[in-house]
Chains A and B, each alone.
Chain A
Amino acid sequence: MLIYIVYILQPLLILLLAPLFMGILGKVKACFRGYTGPSVFQVYYDIAKLMKKDEVISKSSSFVTTIGPLFTLVAAVSCTFIIPVFYTSLAFSFGNIFVIIFTLGIIKFITSLIGLDSASTFGGMGSSRELFISMLAEPIMFVVITFLFIETKSFNIFTIAYANSTQLSFGPGHVLAALAFFILLLAENARMPVDNPETHLELTMVHEAMILDLSGKRLAYIELASAIKFVLFLTILINGFLPYGIATGLNLLTMGTAIILFIIKLIGCLIVIAVIETTMAKFRLFRVPELLTFAFALGIVSIIINHYA
């Protein structure tokens, strides 16, 4: 009985809390910068407002713009069903990490086509840059998954979380791989040294440039999908690399503590990201390959260390 609650509660937790985490990130950044900032629930208000608004669609756009945004949300929501949040066991036979990452790739694919769809120069620029960056991020994904496979002998994210939660000590490779995945996370989710999510300045925006011509409900779908994608990447980071305290038994008390621990860990990650975003400037586009190559090198080194240790 309890397992069914887990099946429902895990996706629901991510779906409902994803905007809240974005709000918390904004709030923390505002604190660092020394102003009050909007409420942590601001993202919910924004999405609710967008859902109510009328829409304007470019007359150049095609079915990619009219039905694409819905599919980005579908991709994001589908992934929440096959990822451990606070409970994991070896009984889950689905949850292949490649399937999760590639399904999240749907969001990238559709948003970059939406960028080209409205016949605007900014859209083309945004999708060109987005795909350029994500292309260079792909090898990092590969080496990080290789590292997790070496550690746990599994591609299943549930098994990975289970194996790592019971492991008592980690080698230095673990830290390096986590760092590589963290940089991948920043690059894939349009975060600071790669893209500035707050700006609408023409020459610097990447993610925002692609969705410049969307409004109303469709914009809300994409924003929500991006928020869920961001939280999903953080969940993979937390449950793949620091799954301490994740519930492995079907017990209300352990699951309750696991939920609280998960939220604390996630907020910890958000604070780190907030620190990065408030202290660093955005990289020039052609400096981004250097950052990503660094992350790739970290991944390879972590594999070598783990192999020889």
Chain B
Amino acid sequence: MLESFYNIMMTDWLSIFFVALIILISIPICLFSIGYVKEYRQNYSIKYIYSMMTFFILSMIGVVFSNNSIVFMIFWEIMSMTSFFLVIYEYKNKENLSSGIMYFVMTHISGLVLMIMFALIYKYTNSFDFKEIMEYSNKFTLTQKTIIFILAIIGFGAKAGLMPLHAWLPKAHPSAPSNVSALMSGVMLKVAVYGFIRTAFMFLGDVPYSYGISLMIIGTLTAIISILNASAQRNMKKLLAYSSAENIGLIFSVLGLAIIFKSYGLNTLAVLALTAGLFHAVNHGIFKSLLFTAAGSVLYSTGTKNMNELGGLYKKMKFATFCAFVGTAAISAIPPLNGFASEVAIFMSFIQVAGKIDSIWMIVIILCGSILALTSGAVMYVSVKSFGITYLGEPRSIKAQNIHKVPISMNIGMGLLSVYAILFGVLSKFIFEYIIKISQDIINVGNIRLDENTLQNFVGFDIVVMASIIISVTVVFLLVNYITRKNKTFKVYDTWGCGFNEAKPYMQYSGSGFTQPLSKIATSIIGYKKTVLKEETIFFRQHTTDMIEKYLYNPIISLVDYLAIKITKIHYGQIQVYIAYIIMSLIIAVVCVVKFI
């Protein structure tokens, strides 16, 4: 019985790793959902969201476990469809429907490209079975490899949110309920990463280094442009969506680096780079779900996503604030949390290139690494903004003052994710060791012994040492503090206003003002514009546009609109004519397929 399961399932380390990731992160999100969906009880169906979420999670596990490209595509489409239905869950809001359509189109572009890719793989290898394809891997010709690689970047990249196919992320995430955003960002994007690793590393085997370099550059550009866009957002969930695209860029660029190392025969370094990428995929899943669930609890209790209306939430939701603090610290790479562990590993993999690869590419890789370093600085800027403006200070509007109480199950979900974030940082040494085994399996170095010295120089051990130093110093300090405490600890009084006693909450820094210096120096990248309106009072407005959406998507959308208007002329409204159209397109399709195969 079990053996027959092994035959229909993919049970190598890579699949098991990603299934573990899906289950690990889905459990706290499901716990969170129990409380969170109460918000929708009056207007929407609860059964609908539960059943869709169950199908969604199961289909993701199905994608990762499938060992056949047809089964893979079926689960992939179920995953896309259920997530689409979850995105448009709040269908009474028209804006959600239009962003849902955007997601629908993008996810089907991804599905279509993947179908073409698997059809081509079938054409070349005569097999749907993943194990057979993997055995065939080195018989692909260079042209075949190139075509499959490009299709994989487009297909999986559109699902994961690589530039310029990221445009659905900042639309779908704010529309979806927060628990769904947490699932989509924390887990579904990782399924796309899984698909990419499966194709690029295991189906294609050895590929030229230029593939890796192009992937690394795409990833790096995604990271920097997304984080600059994130900095300008005032909608919490939009900010997190852009930040997801940033992390995906980071993961893909380090995967590109692994491909480069592999093609140069530097297997140890390739294993390390892939380990860093996989570890970051888990860590991003953890802290991004944590931040999305925290944003969800803010939305639940205040009813607004606009951080310029929030502030001072810690007074009424202490536990959620603490969890959001852990998530913010993790995403800003604060030791000893998990984001720090994988970020350091990524930087170290980038630097190891020095002196091992031809000079010109070495400089390119180091430049990419420094852009990622800039990105990591920007991440701290953006996440401090997101946390500080939302939870700290004084309430900026009446919405942030009248707060609903958060149900206990939501707190349990967030608490569990915070515990993950801490454990995956402090114990990163042991997790690194496991992931290194998985990467060895993927890179297919078999029993070749890796360079022990490089492995030992890898960061895990240092983090454990640092974490224990930090914890012991903290304990000592807290003890000293406790012993030397006075009876009267401190006096609570108004904030010092430099002699100005009329300080009002709206005089605090706003979210938009906080990152204005960055918007100012990145004006052309994020389309930053400020206008001063003089009416009865003086208004100051600043807004940004996603330049890729403006210059790439809008022309295509207007072209499609234009063609659609032209085509309406052949719509006569007679059923016979439509049947004729169907038959004609069927014939064309059959001819194409026959020609093609």
Which residues of chain A have a CB within 8 Å of any CB of chain B?
54-64, 70-71, 73-75, 77-78, 81-82, 93-96, 98-99, 102-103, 105-106, 108-109, 112-113, 115-125, 127-129, 131-132, 134-139, 141-143, 145-146, 149-150, 153-156, 202, 212-213, 216, 285-286, 289, 296, 300, 303-304, 307-308
CB pair A103–B393 under 8 Å, yes or no, is: no
A307 to chain B, nearest CB (A): 6
CB pair A213–B394 under 8 Å, yes or no, is: no
CB pair B478–A213 under 8 Å, yes or no, is: no
A157 to chain B, nearest CB (A): 11
Which of B335, B374, B377, B488 sits near A54, CB closer than 8 Å?
A: B488
| A123 / chain B contacts, CB cutoff of 8 Å | 509
Q: How many angstroms between the C-alpha atoms of A139 and B370 in the bound complex? A: 5
- Among the 9-residue stretches B117-125, B131-139, B354-362, the one with 4 or more Cβ atoms under 8 Å from chain A is B354-362
CB pair A109–B329 under 8 Å, yes or no, is: yes
Q: How many angstroms between the C-alpha atoms of A56 and B340 in the bound complex? A: 34
CB pair A112–B388 under 8 Å, yes or no, is: yes
Q: Mark B480-497, 1 if CB is under 8 A from A, else 0.
A: 010000001111111111
- Beyond A106-B334, A146-B354, A155-B348, whether A56 also contacts B493 by CB under 8 A is yes
Q: Scan residues 272-298 of chain B and give those whose CB is less than 8 A from a CB of chain A.
A: none
Q: List 25 A-B contacts (CB under 8 A).
A: A57-B490, A58-B495, A59-B492, A71-B474, A74-B473, A78-B469, A78-B470, A94-B466, A99-B335, A105-B335, A116-B388, A116-B392, A120-B497, A121-B508, A124-B388, A131-B377, A131-B380, A135-B374, A135-B378, A136-B374, A142-B373, A145-B347, A212-B496, A213-B495, A303-B366
Q: How many angstroms between the C-alpha atoms of A145 and B387 in the bound complex? A: 30
B216 to chain A, nearest CB (A): 15
| B488 / chain A contacts, CB cutoff of 8 Å | 54
Q: Does B521 contact A (CB under 8 A)?
A: yes
Q: Does B24 contact A (CB under 8 A)?
A: no
CB pair B492–A146 under 8 Å, yes or no, is: no
Q: Does B457 contact A (CB under 8 A)?
A: yes
Q: How many angstroms between the C-alpha atoms of A21 and B491 in the bound complex? A: 33
Chain B contact-residue range equals: 35 or more
A297 to chain B, nearest CB (A): 11
CB pair B469–A102 under 8 Å, yes or no, is: no
Q: Does B389 contact A (CB under 8 A)?
A: yes
CB pair B380–A105 under 8 Å, yes or no, is: yes
CB pair A132–B392 under 8 Å, yes or no, is: no
Q: How many angstroms between the C-alpha atoms of A66 and B369 in the bound complex? A: 37
Q: Does B332 contact A (CB under 8 A)?
A: yes
- Beyond A62-B315, A102-B340, A285-B517, whether A142 also contacts B362 by CB under 8 A is no
Q: How many angstroms between the C-alpha atoms of A38 and B488 in the bound complex? A: 32
Write the chain B residue with the least CB distance to A137.
B377
CB pair B515–A128 under 8 Å, yes or no, is: yes
Q: Does B102 contact A (CB under 8 A)?
A: no
Which of A128, A142, A154, A202 sits near B370, CB closer than 8 Å?
A: A142
CB pair B329–A103 under 8 Å, yes or no, is: no
Which of B351, B507, B508 sits near A146, CB closer than 8 Å?
A: B351
| B516 / chain A contacts, CB cutoff of 8 Å | 128
Among B466, B493, B495, B517, the one with the most A-chain Cβ atoms within 10 Å of its Cβ is B495
Write the chain B residue with the least CB distance to A139.
B370
CB pair A139–B373 under 8 Å, yes or no, is: yes
CB pair B491–A64 under 8 Å, yes or no, is: no
Q: Mark B372-413, 1 if CB is under 8 A from A, else 0.
A: 011011101100100111011110000000000000000000
Among B312, B473, B491, B493, the one with the most A-chain Cβ atoms within 10 Å of its Cβ is B473
Q: Mark B279-323, 1 if CB is under 8 A from A, else 0.
A: 000000000000000000000000000000001101100100110
Which residues of chain B have a CB within 8 Å of any CB of chain A?
311-312, 314-315, 318, 321-322, 325, 329, 332-335, 340, 343-344, 347-348, 351-352, 354-355, 359, 362-363, 366-367, 369-371, 373-374, 376-378, 380-381, 384, 387-389, 391-394, 456-457, 459, 461-463, 465-466, 469-470, 473-474, 477-478, 481, 488-498, 503, 505, 507-509, 513-518, 520-521
- Beyond A82-B466, A103-B466, whether A96 also contacts B459 by CB under 8 A is yes
CB pair B478–A82 under 8 Å, yes or no, is: no
CB pair B491–A55 under 8 Å, yes or no, is: yes
Which of B332, B381, B389, B481 sits near A116, CB closer than 8 Å?
A: B389
| A55 / chain B contacts, CB cutoff of 8 Å | 489-491
Among B457, B488, B520, the one with the most A-chain Cβ atoms within 10 Å of its Cβ is B457
| B514 / chain A contacts, CB cutoff of 8 Å | 124, 127-128
B83 to chain A, nearest CB (A): 33
Which of A113, A143, A153 sits near B387, CB closer than 8 Å?
A: A113
Write the chain B residue with the least CB distance to A105.
B334
A270 to chain B, nearest CB (A): 27
Write the chain B residue with the least CB distance to A145.
B351
Write the chain B residue with the least CB distance to A112.
B384
Q: How many angstroms between the C-alpha atoms of A292 and B495 in the bound complex? A: 34
Write the chain B residue with the least CB distance to A134.
B377
Write the chain B residue with the least CB distance to A81.
B469
CB pair A60–B495 under 8 Å, yes or no, is: yes
| A137 / chain B contacts, CB cutoff of 8 Å | 377
| A116 / chain B contacts, CB cutoff of 8 Å | 384, 388-389, 392-393, 508-509
CB pair A78–B473 under 8 Å, yes or no, is: yes
Which of A103, A131, A212 sits near B381, CB closer than 8 Å?
A: A131
CB pair A109–B334 under 8 Å, yes or no, is: yes
